[in-house]
């Protein structure tokens, strides 16, 4: 077996060779001489004063540049902020943040939603108006009324007898709603808790709101509490592909009717609603 050149300061000798082996002097600058011989040839190994950088397992481990770590953390933080503010609309930071975001977006809200008046009348105003027809002199509550989507479509369809209360926590959304639908009674307030007595409304509506509230189960409970026996609830549940990303704020499509049943509601009917939602009608016995 032949000894490999080593970075150590000791001469390297081939097996069976000793100091008696023949050799010639090393060039200037070398520190010593090592001799290795094969059967036919004599080989001289010189080792230098300068240590050679030989590749070894320890030397190959690359050191991680700390900038990579900083970059990775920055990307994670940006991804989390995009998720929280773009998808969840700040829901996990509490109602003040959500309401603040609606204040900021209020003037752009209708454009973002691309409301089509004909569609809104057909799928929002008319179904509620039909339900009201069976309940003369109805009191209707719209929770999280936004810029007046329900009020704008419902009020022109029903007579002046209808009392429509629009509850909205964002000042700017509320101001726009009042401007668009002055026929409604506009109040500033949140769903958690609702500032109304038990069983005080014939119809309670809440469209695209529950998933942005701190405790969606309690929000649903509040909507049911203020509904009178014999009245109907119209509420949305977010089910689109982003729904599972709004952690803890949405209900699975199959479990939503069960949740409403658990709150004492019956005859739950679900309709697909604007791609991202299910719309549920439910009756309080």
Ligand X SMILES: C[S@@+](CC[C@H](N)C(=O)[O-])C[C@H]1O[C@@H](n2cnc3c(N)ncnc32)[C@H](O)[C@@H]1O
Residues that bind ligand X (CB under 6 A): 95, 98-99, 102, 143-146, 149, 168-170, 173, 190-192, 207-209, 212-213
Q: Which is nearer to ligand X, 170 or 237 (CB)?
A: 170
Minimal distance, residue 65 CB to ligand X, in Å: 44
Query: What is the DSSP track for 246-279?
Result: STTS---TTHHHHHHHHTT-EEEEEEEETTTEEE
Is 13 in contact with 34 (CB distance < 8 Å)?
yes
Minimal distance, residue 136 CB to ligand X, in Å: 26
**Of 46, 60, 58, residue with least CA distance to 9:** 46
Query: Can you tell me the distance from the alpha carbon of 141 to that of 205, in angstroms, rounded to the nearest whole number?
Result: 6
Q: Which is nearer to ligand X, 6 or 200 (CB)?
A: 200
Query: Can you tell me the distance from the alpha carbon of 93 to that of 181, in angstroms, rounded to the nearest whole number?
Result: 31
Is 196 in contact with 226 (CB distance < 8 Å)?
yes
Q: Which is nearer to ligand X, 149 or 259 (CB)?
A: 149
Query: Can you tell me the distance from the alpha carbon of 170 to that of 61, in angstroms, rounded to the nearest whole number?
Result: 56
Residue nearest to ligand X (CB): 146
Q: Which is nearer to ligand X, 46 or 218 (CB)?
A: 218
Query: Can you tell me the distance from the alpha carbon of 102 to that of 110, in angstroms, rounded to the nearest whole number?
Result: 12
**The Cα angle at residue 177 between residues 176 and 181, in degrees rounded to 5:** 120
Q: Which is nearer to ligand X, 51 or 171 (CB)?
A: 171
Query: Can you tell me the distance from the alpha carbon of 65 to that of 77, in angstroms, rounded to the nearest whole number?
Result: 19
CB atoms < 10 A from the CB of 264, how many? 14
Minimal distance, residue 253 CB to ligand X, in Å: 19
Minimal distance, residue 110 CB to ligand X, in Å: 9
Q: Which is nearer to ligand X, 35 or 145 (CB)?
A: 145
Q: Which is nearer to ligand X, 32 or 214 (CB)?
A: 214
Query: What is the DSSP track for 110-156?
Result: HHHHT--HHHHIIIIIHHHHHHHHTSTT-EEEEET-TTTHHHHHHTT
């Amino acid at each position: 077996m032949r000894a490999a050149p080593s970075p150590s300061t000791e001469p390297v000798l081939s097996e069976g060779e000793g100091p008696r082996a023949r050799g010639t002097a090393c060039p200037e600058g070398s520190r010593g001489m090592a001799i290795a011989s094969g059967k036919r040839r004599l080989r001289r190994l010189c080792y230098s004063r300068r240590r050679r950088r030989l590749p070894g397992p320890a030397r190959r481990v690359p050191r991680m540049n700390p900038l990579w770590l900083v970059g990775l953390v920055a990307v994670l933080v940006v991804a989390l902020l995009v998720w929280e503010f773009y998808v969840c609309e700040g829901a996990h930071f509490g109602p003040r943040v959500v309401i603040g975001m609606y204040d900021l977006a209020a003037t752009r809200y209708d454009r973002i939603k691309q409301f089509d008046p004909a569609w809104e009348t057909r799928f929002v105003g008319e179904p509620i108006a039909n339900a009201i027809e069976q309940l003369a002199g109805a009191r209707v509550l719209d929770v999280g009324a936004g810029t007046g989507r329900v009020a704008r479509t419902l009020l022109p369809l029903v007579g002046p007898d209808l009392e429509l209360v629009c509850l909205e926590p964002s000042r700017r959304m509320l101001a726009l709603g009042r401007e668009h639908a002055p026929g409604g009674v506009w109040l500033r307030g949140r769903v958690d808790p609702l500032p109304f007595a038990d069983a005080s409304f014939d119809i309670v509506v809440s469209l695209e709101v529950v998933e942005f509230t701190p405790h969606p189960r309690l929000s649903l409970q509040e909507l049911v509490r203020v509904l009178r026996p014999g009245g109907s609830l119209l509420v949305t549940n977010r089910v689109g592909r982003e729904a599972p990303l709004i952690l803890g704020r949405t209900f699975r499509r199959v479990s939503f009717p069960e949740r409403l049943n658990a709150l004492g509601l019956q005859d739950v009917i679900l309709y697909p609603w604007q791609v991202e939602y299910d719309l549920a009608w439910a009756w309080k016995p």
